[in-house]
Amino acid sequence: MKTTYREALREAIRDAMNRDDRVFLMGEDVGSYGGCYAVSLGLLEEFGQERIRDTPLSESAFVGAGIGAALNGMRPIVEIMTVNFSLLALDQILNNAATLLHMSGGQFPVPLVIRMTTGAGRQLAAQHSHSLEGWYAHIPGLRVLAPATLEDARGMLWPALCDPDPVLIFEHNALYNLSGELADDAGPVDITRAAVRRPGKDVTLITYGGSLAKTLAAADDLAAEGIDAEVIDLRTLRPLDADTFLDSVRRTHHAVVVDEGWRSGSLSAEIAARIAEEALYDLDAPVRRVCSAEVPIPYAKHLEEAALPQPGSIAAAAREVVRGG
């Protein structure tokens, strides 16, 4: 069937709520407004106010309420409008949700899912263009997911709700209008493994989320030049499936990591470090990273595009590691 990323997310919520009466959605404007990005449009009429709950504008309060609900046997889906607003709930996420299962010796699971929009590219200026997935991937006790395809948008939610640890799902804002074909019987997917989105033999391009399409476009450009790039979609940012990208690097002997986060202290740095630790002698060139410029993301469209990884900069990095310049 023809669908969009937004509609796939909505169907995932609908499916989870039909599977389990304990599942409910809460967040700012998720009810009658249909969600900031229209993901929950129509669900209030379908499931009622008890299960589609609008909350006050207090991220700390409603994330805390979600943690409490999860501790008491419910399966809450908490929607935070954008990743920058999640910082207002960081105490709840880091000091409570992520730690309770461990600190209780396994007695108190927190089966909570927090969905939030991430990324830049839509001229939302510096306050609403963050890519902070790497920050959360630093925290033990969390699972961090980044669906980049229609299949993952549809299939990641139910396995996430079944996880005893809290799960954060980062939805890139540039993907909501992504359209394509999705199988009528599409359902849950594996949330533990990375995926090879394009096989290749000359260089490994490692990415996730909103950068996947750009990386695949770069791979197409490289193919026209005779460079066969393999594209790895990480999908799960914590815990990282290092085996998949290390196996690829050992075959291609070259690696480029594409990360919309800032370069310093980024997820790309962690991946590059793991490659250096585990596959250094398989490399024929140093690992290259393509990240956002270390500036607050500009509002002006041409400056925003210049600040973000683009197919051209990804292809140039791959060309350099394969050909030495």
Q: Where are the alpha helices (DSSP H) in 92-170?
A: 100-103, 133-136, 150-155, 157-161
The active-site residue, picked from 7, 11, 59, 79, is: 59
Report yes or no: 297 and 203 within 8 Å, Cβ to Cβ: no
Contacts of 206 (CB under 8 A, 6+ apart): 232, 234, 245, 248, 255, 256, 257, 258, 271
CA 192 distance to own-chain centroid: 13
DSSP string, 247-283: HHHHHHS-EEEEEEEESTT-HHHHHHHHHHHHHGGG-
State the amino acid at position 254 in one-letter form. H
Q: Is 128 designated active site?
A: yes
Report yes or no: 289 and 256 within 8 Å, Cβ to Cβ: yes
Which segments of the chain are extended strands (E)? 2-4, 23-27, 52-54, 75-82, 113-118, 143-145, 167-172, 179-181, 195-198, 203-207, 229-233, 236-238, 255-262, 288-292
Selection from 144, 146, 143 nearest residue 118 by Cα? 146
Element (H, E) at 90: helix 90-90
Q: Is 59 designated active site?
A: yes
Report the alpha-carbon angle 167-170-175, nearest 5: 145
Q: How many CB atoms lie within 10 A of CB 24?
A: 22
How far, in Å, are 152, 225, 234, 305 from residue 192 at the CA level? 12, 34, 10, 32
Question: Which tokens hold the place of 32?
Answer: 């009658």
The active-site residue, picked from 79, 128, 230, 304, is: 128
- Catalytic residue numbers, as ranges: 59, 128
